[in-house]
Amino acid sequence: MGRGAFVVFEGCDKSGKSTQCRLLVDYLNSLGKKTELWRFPERSTAIGQIINGYITKKDELHDKAVHLMFSANRWELVPLIKEKIASGVTLVVDRYAYSGVAFTSAKGYDMLWCKNCDIGLPRPDAVYYMNIDVEDASVRGDYGCERYEVSDFQKKVQECFQSLKEPSWNVIDAGESIDNIHKILCESVLKTLAECENTLLSE
Ligand code: NYM
Ligand code: MG
């Protein structure tokens, strides 16, 4: 049996990542392909709890300290990521290191500094960038509850994502209907699964 795939979704808040991740995971499981839905931040760990306090505006933390927390939250799960993928499970991950860099560099911090702590993390086999008009996203359900959910800041985040974007990224028009996006993703992810089965996960 080949390894599982490591598929990451990125984008601004309320761009539809979580909805599409859920639909995709259900679809892949319905085909008999073992798939799990993951997310970063993973708020259930001790580090994740600290992040949650910050994101929900209960606690204050220095920008650089919280950046390192987000990165540590990924690093603490690397052994499990590797184990799952090696055992043939595909991981569909709602946000990863690109969010880490985009959200902190949008505050004005040097992008290289932001990238440093994530160097060496497992590299996704595919990245889907949900591209949405920030104003359209701002009228979607419970927008504004969490820290960062402010249009001016989201515009900066989007610019940072644009400069992080690699040629291999799949840019999805997140203004399209849920069904249309889902169909596009299913087709594309099946190709990714087939392609990466006999390759190694890289860093
Ligand atoms: N976020 C997420 C960061 O600032 N850095 C990171 O490394 C990650 C993974 O957390 N506004 C921010 C982006 C989101 C917030 O995530 C909560 P979500 O997926 O919206 O629940
Ligand atoms: Mg959010």
Residue with tokens 């889902």: 182
Q: What number does the ligand 1 atom closest to the CA of 70 have?
A: 7
| Tens digits of residue pLDDT in 145-166 | 999 999 999 999 999 999 999 9
Structure ipTM: 0.99
Residue nearest to atom 14 of ligand 1 (CA): 13
Positions of the chain with pLDDT under 70: none
Residue with tokens 């949900």: 130
Ligand 1 site, residue 99, Cβ cutoff 6 A:
yes
In this prediction, residue 101 carries a pLDDT of: 98
In this prediction, residue 44 carries a pLDDT of: 98
In this prediction, residue 197 carries a pLDDT of: 86
Global pTM reads 0.98
- Tell me the CA–centroid distance for residue 13 and ligand 2, in Å: 4
Ligand 1 site, residue 16, Cβ cutoff 6 A:
no
| Integer Cα distance of 194 and 33 in angstroms | 11
- Tell me the CA–centroid distance for residue 12 and ligand 1, in Å: 9
Q: What number does the ligand 1 atom closest to the CA of 97 have?
A: 7
Q: List b or e across 39-53, with b for residues whose CB sees 16 or more CB atoms inside 10 angstroms.
A: bbbbbeeebbebbbe
Residues contacting 2, CB < 8 A, separation 6+ = 88, 196, 197, 198
In this prediction, residue 198 carries a pLDDT of: 87
Ligand 1 mutation target, pool 8, 99, 128, 130, most atoms within 8 A of CB: 99
Give, as one character, the DSSP assignment of residue 203: -
Q: Which residues are in the CB-under-5-Å shell of ion ligand 2?
A: 13
> Cα-flanking dihedrals φ and ψ of residue 143, to 5°?
-65, 140
Calculate what percentage of the chain has a pLDDT beyond 90.
97
